[in-house]
Amino acid sequence: MISAKANKIFQQVIADYHIHDQIDQPIENPYDKDSFEHLLYLKAWIDTAQWHMEDVIRNPKIDADTGLYWKRRIDKQNQDRTDNVEYIDSYYLHIFQDITPLKEAKINTESPAWAIDRLSILALKIFHMEVETQRKDVSATHIKECQQKLDILLEQRKDLSQSIDELLQDIAEGKKYMKVYKQMKMYNDPKLNPVLYGSEK
């Protein structure tokens, strides 16, 4: 099942990242660059680094110049995240290219890769919520509340994992079909963002 593989790799990435816990530490992807596992590892690494960028930018004492620097880093990271998701969807489009959908086949609300994207973010939520349950400098109430949230996140991962596996099985059997729309982001494109193309005049 793909969800089991993805969850294992996502947890591996989070553990690898937190060995040094530095946003700019070089990625050491252990999987062959042409493999699906390589894409999953890269996916989770991008998400993990961005998670910590989001923490940094929410520092109430951050100065404007530093805040702008991190905002632009996050924008770039978001684009990398989107590109990676589209690579994963391209992988599945190739896998299922010879499948003829049944007449009654339906399209899913999201592509397999965007569902896997949510699974990657969920792995980060689970890791950091578990950290909160282990803190020694907080009240028992804090620990209890975080444990309740962690239980819900774990249940959500179970449900989402099952849904992803069922979606891929349905596509393989022709019960559903893939239709991927490239993310036509406008704010990074100097030809589409009026602030950017206006500045060229």
Per-residue pLDDT of the chain (201 residues; tens, 9 = 90+): 899 999 999 999 999 999 999 999 999 999 999 999 999 999 999 999 999 999 999 999 999 999 999 999 999 999 999 999 999 999 999 999 999 999 999 999 999 999 999 999 999 999 999 999 999 999 999 999 999 999 999 999 999 999 999 999 999 999 999 988 776 666 667 777 776 677 655
The boundaries of the domain holding residue 167 are 2-191
Enumerate helices (H) and strands (E) in the chain, giving the number of each. 6, 2
Residue 87 maps to a domain: yes
Residue 197 maps to a domain: no
Residue 132 maps to a domain: yes
Residue 147 maps to a domain: yes
How far apart are the C-alpha atoms of 182 and 94, rounded to whole Å?
16
CA dihedral of residues 42, 48, 50, 52 (deg, nearest 10): -150
CA-based nearest residue to 11, from 40, 35, 50, 38: 40
Residue 200 maps to a domain: no
Tell me, what's the pLDDT at 25? 95
How many domains is the chain partitioned into structurally? 1
Where b means 16+ CB within 10 Å and e means fewer, 1-10 reads: ebbeebbebb
Residue 89 maps to a domain: yes
Is 180:93 a contact under the CB 8 Å cutoff?
yes
Residue 20 maps to a domain: yes
Residue 57 maps to a domain: yes
Token duo for residue 157:
């991962």
